[in-house]
Amino acid sequence: RWQKIFMFPLWSKMAVFWNKMFLTIIVLLIVLFLDAVREVRKYSSVHVSEKAANVNSSAFDHIQMKLFRSQRNLYLSGFSLFLWLVLRRTVTLLTQLAKEMASHAALETQVNDATEAAKKYMAENERLQEALSGKGDSKKKELTDATEEKLKEEVEHLKAELQKTSNAFHKAKTEVAAVKKQSEGLRREYEHLMKEFEQLQQSLNKAEDKKDL
């Protein structure tokens, strides 16, 4: 069902647009991150100078609020940029996994067809041998030998094709396993980062509540 949904021509037409959209969001997040770094450095230096100058408490609190907001923007833009890249990598791995699974199914079908054809030719060869085993006519023997030789050649050809298909099937299976392992590791890393982001968000909310008090 999902393969039918994602094989719609609409998605291929929108692929170029979404790639441009992804790059635009990446550039925007980078700009926000660099601006947050600049604000943090600016208000950190001002905070130190104002603290040393012993200015009134309202101005000092205002500088602290600006510093806190710039640090919050820095964390949010940095995590957003990183998680957006992780999401992009996850989508890429899932796409590769879907392609490998599709090729895996196609190779498995090809292997089964080759095996069935080889069994069919072997059964026909056995029936011919049983039917012509009791007759001593030379022409029939020659015909039987020619037919048997032809069947042997076809069986050898099918065996070679079956071996080639089996090798390709094994290679595709190995690639699918590698992609699955990489996707699982990326999923665990994403969950770990989400937990750290939630903890950081909670600490930021607590700090903001204290500032309000």
Domain hosting 57: range is: 8-101
Domain-located, residue 141: no
Half-sphere exposure of 152 (CA within 13 A, CB side): 7
- Say what the pLDDT of residue 84 is: 87
Domain-located, residue 145: no
Between CA 4 and CA 97 the distance in angstroms is 16
Domain-located, residue 32: yes
Between CA 160 and CA 3 the distance in angstroms is 32
What's the domain count of the chain?
1
Domain-located, residue 21: yes
Domain-located, residue 140: no
CB 122 within 8 A of CB 162: no
Between CA 206 and CA 212 the distance in angstroms is 10
- Say what the pLDDT of residue 31 is: 92
Domain-located, residue 116: no
- Token pair belonging to 100: 């490998």
- Say what the pLDDT of residue 1 is: 66
Domain-located, residue 85: yes
- Say what the pLDDT of residue 169 is: 78
- Say what the pLDDT of residue 120 is: 82
Domain-located, residue 164: no
Between CA 201 and CA 67 the distance in angstroms is 16
Query: pTM surpassing 0.85?
Result: no
- Say what the pLDDT of residue 139 is: 53
CB 155 within 8 A of CB 128: no
- Say what the pLDDT of residue 198 is: 79
Q: Which residue has the tokens 């699918």?
A: 176
Query: Which residues of the chain carry a pLDDT beneath 70?
Result: 1-7, 47-57, 131-145, 205, 207-213
- Nearest in space to 121 (alpha carbons), one of 147, 86, 89: 147
